[in-house]
Amino acid sequence: MTEDVLLTISDFSVTYDVDPPVEAVRDVSLQLRRGEILGLAGESGCGKTTLAYGIQRLLKPPAVITGGDVLFHDASGERVDIGALSDDDMRQFRWDKASIVFQGAMNALNPVITIGRQLADVFTTHRPELSRRERTRACGDLLDLVGVGRERLKSYAHELSGGMRQRVMIAMALALHPQLMIMDEPTTALDVLVQREILRQISDLRREFGFSVIFITHDLPLLLEISDRIAIMREGRIVELDTAENIYRDAQHEYTRTLLSSFPSLTGERGDFVRTGAAATEVPA
């Protein structure tokens, strides 16, 4: 079982040092297995993104990691204590071992630099031995891989659709073949057809390259479709963790049942919502 574990999070806590202090993440413990998609669901403000940024040590003041450990079990057999890495080592770890797709691709991409240059910067920083021609070829291959097309290397972010920009962010996250990809609301603000295409692509790429995914969203039905396991987060804590099938068929925590029941059924009468477990919420028509 230990050989199947990629990431171990133990009693991890983050506090925002304001007046009064806000405990955004409270004693979170979970494991991520190799090759699995772990969904992280919960309402806005429950600490999902704070946890993701904490794993990657991307938190900025007033956020402070106040406890816990994050251990990365490298495929080579090395165990990496992320909290103990120096700043230089952590910069190397990011993108190389674990990458992140940030929420809001338009804001994450630099509007005055071409897509090709932004992709090339990843290779310039982490693979300096590559020649300029090799970097350009690798960037084109990445865009082809995610369905954007290498002809967009000279395009700017504003010249791409929202779905294409999100695909570029996925390409950037895949550039160095990381073992872990963290995806923070990667389909937010995209129409349902584009969402479907991107989700299918993520699943296909995961099968092809074997990386693990932490997929963060408030959209629990979406996670039920794509995830192997789902962690439900509320007020900074993990309140339930189980397979997607068990979450759907027999959710144990009242909050999980409430989340499930808050999404309307496409087949029932008006006012009837998805029902699971022993409880459900019904809103009158």
Q: What is the pLDDT of residue 266?
A: 58
- Overall average pLDDT of the 135-157 stretch: 95
**226 domain residue, yes or no:** no
Nearest CA to 224 among 267, 274, 266, 282? 274
- What mean pLDDT, rounded, does the chain reach? 89
**161 domain residue, yes or no:** yes
Q: Which of 130-144, 153-167, 255-269 has the lowest mean pLDDT?
A: 255-269
> Helices 87-96 and 115-126 meet at what angle, rounded to 10?
120
* Percent of the chain surpassing pLDDT 70: 90
Instruction: Label residue 236 by pLDDT band (50, 70, 90).
Output: very high
Instruction: Label residue 227 by pLDDT band (50, 70, 90).
Output: very high
**91 domain residue, yes or no:** no
**150 domain residue, yes or no:** yes
Q: Which of 1-15, 42-56, 214-228, 266-280 has the lowest mean pLDDT?
A: 266-280
Q: What is the pLDDT of residue 279?
A: 39
Instruction: Label residue 106 by pLDDT band (50, 70, 90).
Output: low
Final residue belonging to a domain, choices 162, 177, 192? 177
* Percent of the chain surpassing pLDDT 90: 74
Q: What does the alpha-carbon distance between residue 265 and residue 274 come to, in Å, rounded to a whole number?
A: 5
198, pLDDT greater than 80: yes
What is the domain extent for residue 281? 251-285
285, pLDDT greater than 60: no
Q: What does the alpha-carbon distance between residue 191 and residue 227 come to, in Å, rounded to a whole number?
A: 20
277, pLDDT greater than 50: no
**202 domain residue, yes or no:** no
- Overall average pLDDT of the 165-174 stretch: 92
Q: What is the pLDDT of residue 191?
A: 81
Final residue belonging to a domain, choices 151, 177, 203? 177
Are the CB atoms for 5 and 32 separated by under 8 Å?
yes
Cβ-count burial 58-88 (b if 16+ within 10 Å, e if not): ebeeebebeebebbbbeeeeeebebeebeee
Q: What is the pLDDT of residue 268?
A: 59
- Overall average pLDDT of the 166-193 stretch: 89
Q: What is the pTM of this model?
A: 0.89
Which helix or strand (DSSP H or E) is residue 53 part of? helix 48-55
273, pLDDT greater than 60: no
- Overall average pLDDT of the 102-121 stretch: 88
Domains in the chain, number: 2
47, pLDDT greater than 90: yes
Are the CB atoms for 72 and 80 separated by under 8 Å?
yes
- Overall average pLDDT of the 250-265 stretch: 87
184, pLDDT greater than 60: yes
Q: What is the pLDDT of residue 280?
A: 39
Q: What is the pLDDT of residue 2?
A: 57
Are the CB atoms for 131 and 89 separated by under 8 Å?
no
**206 domain residue, yes or no:** no
Final residue belonging to a domain, choices 177, 198, 233? 177
**268 domain residue, yes or no:** yes
Q: What is the pLDDT of residue 162?
A: 87
Q: What does the alpha-carbon distance between residue 65 and residue 181 come to, in Å, rounded to a whole number?
A: 21
Residue with tokens 């079982």: 1
**266 domain residue, yes or no:** yes
197, pLDDT greater than 90: no
